[in-house]
Structure 1
Amino acid sequence: MNNMHSVSTEYWHPLDNGKIQCDLCPRFCQLNDGQRGLCFVRGRVGDEIRLLSYGLSSGFCIDPVEKKPLNHFLPGTPVLSFGTAGCNLACRFCQNWDISRSRQTQRLCDSAMPEQLVRAAIAHDCRSIAFTYNDPVIFHEYAIDVAKACHQHGLKSIAVSAGYVCPAPREAFYQHMDAANIDLKAFTERFYKRICGGSLAPVLDTLEYIHHQTDTWLEITTLLIPGENDSDREIARLAHWICTHLGDGIPLHFTAFHPDWKMLDHPSTPLDTLRRARMIAHEEGLKYVYTGNLPDPEGNTTYCPECDRPLIRRSGYTITEWSLTPAGHCRYCGHPLAGHFEATPGHWGSRRLPISINR
């Protein structure tokens, strides 16, 4: 691989047995020279851990920001989305498995340095750049440099992540992120260990860190898988934890599973399950709860938590009604809506526009 795509990293230390331990995430991969971590894009080269995919991507696309999903961050605006290969979790249900579980450098078919990405985003009237498709935790240095370039040109940076990261790199990362959607994949240690190859506790720690110790706008997504994490009890415990540890104003998205990768034997999530989860989360005190991946007009609508009037209606990712004041308050009762809103919404709609950065 071209040396321009291999950069030194900070979060590692040598072990007495001659290996080097990566300290970026709780996997703590211990590597001999020439080995890569489970994430695939970080590996040992000589006496250090290097990021081997700096400036490389599996593709670029202009999406609606609601697709991240972020319903309370610059609604209606377009975002330039990209990711790399690899991931630091091994979720059996991964719906981007061809990217996240790739071990082939050929998946990294596009090259773009931070300034190139920013120029492309501006050329397509994007308001932000999102690190998505796979987890930006693993391309930490690249994502931070892109975020810095964004801020130099008035763009926002968005992280779509599973939150599986150690405290020191997490602090360095989120000081540069304007918004994040964190996948809270379930609310049991058993699920994380058996289905994701990880652990729940670091994710909860990340959620608390982002909300209480940064200015990053936070929303949460939970993909509901029939028979695995969709019981009333687990949904109630998850929503109660969010409400008590993060607050009742955190938007929560329940999204529908479809069979993929190593979980082809599970049925798709019925709409009734999403609606039931939304009701339970509201009963636990959360003000903003959404459904996704299936058509559900009520579950896509943002309601005022004070007067219960619809404030933002959506058809898919297209905004069809906007009842906020320029200050982001309910037009009917004046209650402030949690989030980051502009005087008028964007009009990108539900379009998905793949682009080439280098043309």
Structure 2
Amino acid sequence: MSEMKDESFRTSCLLCPQHCQLEQGQSGKCHTRENRGGEIISLTYGEVAAWNLDPIEKKPLYHFYPGSWVFSVGGFGCNLSCSFCQNHEISQKRQAGRKVSPAELAFQARNSLGLCFTYSEPSMWFEMIRDTAPLVRAQGGKVVLVSNGTMSPSFIEELIPWLDAVNIDIKGFSEEFYQNYCGGKLSWVLDNVERIAGRVHLEITTLVIPGANDDPEEFTELSRWLHNLNIPLAWHLSRYHPAYRLSVPPTERKTLDRLGEIAKEWLPYVYLGNVRGGSTTFCPHCGEVVIQREPVIVNRLNQGCCPKCGEGISGKF
């Protein structure tokens, strides 16, 4: 772990762009990294907060081996403090977790698609990802990351060669939103989306919160920005429900539908999450249903192409 020190052992943690300035014995915003004698150490290495066998669609990843199951694991802590966090029990504090080694995590993933680092912010578990991913790859598994995108460039660059798929939350499209609701910066996230795009399978998620990040003009700007990445991107617009410290009413379906129509003007694959009927994949050329996910997954692709017009559908199938 790289750090900057002074003679009093005050140290800057460089894992993420928060760059917490830590006194001796002090932990950072994420609750997972501590200054000990002028060195930044991980408090959660080998400590699991949650693990489950999940459908890949739950990540959400809709264009990465649909219908498969992936072993999902997460540690404690997060470098953001989102007022609407749905996993705040593990992201906003550290508890005593189950002890596990990288080899055991890889073993647990052996009979599924692979291993997904998720639930809280996985980049706070950097060393575990770094040590576990090669073991998963060696046994033929895929490595997936579900992240808020707030990570220092050198560390994400170290992980990219070991990643097969990433879903990044772009939580809003204004610095004001990130500052007031998340305790972070939009620019940090956009920089990493640009860094990952085209190198790893990438999908984007945005939780739509009434009165906070649901302005149609803002969504148009974000849609245009995603379009300009020049990759056939899947974007998941998910319905918000009250959680943690935010109690505004749930997102109305008509709001999601309206924003989804805006997004479809710019992107080929747009999904509505946490509502019925929003998970179907349509051919962007002819409109044919190519993957149906409700009530069960039905994959109608023919070698990755639309069975009606032959258009290639972006993703890993």
What TM-score do you get using the length of structure 1 for normalisation?
0.86
Residues 69-84 of structure 1 mapped to structure 2, 5 A cutoff? 69-84=60-75
The CA deviation at 1:17 is 5.9
**Which of 112, 132, 137 pairs up with 2:100?**
112
**Which of 150, 170, 195 pairs up with 1:164?**
150
**Structure 2 partner of 1:322:** 299
Amino acid at match of 1:114: P
Amino acid at match of 1:270: E
8 Å CA contact 1:11–1:169 kept in 2: the answer is: no
Q: Distance in 2 between the 1:22 and 1:251 partners? A: 33
Paired residue secondary structure (1:175): helix
**Structure 2 partner of 1:345:** none
8 Å CA contact 2:24–2:37 kept in 1: the answer is: yes
**Structure 2 partner of 1:275:** 257
Q: Distance in 1 between the 2:60 and 2:197 partners? A: 17
Unaligned runs of 5+ in 2: none
**Structure 1 partner of 2:245:** 262
Q: Write out per-residue CA displacement over residues 247-293 of structure 1, whole angstroms, 9 at most, x where no aligned residue.
A: 251100000111111102x010112111111111012x200000111
- Give the superposed CA RMSD: 1.3
Paired residue secondary structure (2:263): helix
**Structure 1 partner of 2:114:** 128
Unaligned runs of 5+ in 1: 1-9, 342-359
Q: Distance in 2 between the 1:176 and 1:67 partners? A: 21
Query: Quick check: 1:286 aligned with 2:263?
Result: no
**Structure 2 partner of 1:12:** 3
Residues 224-239 of structure 1 mapped to structure 2, 5 A cutoff? 224-239=208-223
**Structure 2 partner of 1:4:** none
Q: Larger relative contact order (C-alpha < 8 A, sep ≥ 6)?
A: 1
Query: Quick check: 1:140 aligned with 2:126?
Result: yes
Q: Distance in 2 between the 1:15 and 1:250 partners? A: 44
Amino acid at match of 1:335: E
Q: Distance in 1 between the 2:72 and 2:305 partners? A: 29
**Which of 184, 197, 209 pairs up with 1:198?**
184
Amino acid at match of 2:83: R
8 Å CA contact 1:15–1:21 kept in 2: the answer is: no
Q: Distance in 1 between the 2:260 and 2:39 partners? A: 47
**Structure 2 partner of 1:182:** 168
Q: Distance in 2 between the 1:12 and 1:340 partners? A: 38
**Structure 2 partner of 1:42:** 33
**Structure 2 partner of 1:336:** 312
Amino acid at match of 2:223: A
Q: Distance in 2 between the 1:68 and 1:128 partners? A: 13
Structure 1 residues 46 and 207: alpha-carbon distance in aligned structure 2, compared to 1, 3 A threshold: same
Q: Distance in 2 between the 1:87 and 1:53 partners? A: 12
Structure 1 residues 16 and 277: alpha-carbon distance in aligned structure 2, compared to 1, 3 A threshold: farther
**Structure 1 partner of 2:286:** 307
Q: Write out per-residue CA displacement over residues 153-197 of structure 1, whole angstroms, 9 at most, x where no aligned residue.
A: 000010000100111111012221110000000000000001100
Q: Distance in 1 between the 2:154 and 2:29 partners? A: 20
Q: Distance in 2 between the 1:167 and 1:121 partners? A: 28
The CA deviation at 1:32 is 1.3
**Structure 1 partner of 2:79:** 88
Question: How much identity, in percent, do the aligned residues show?
Answer: 40
**Structure 1 partner of 2:232:** 249
What TM-score do you get using the length of structure 2 for normalisation?
0.97
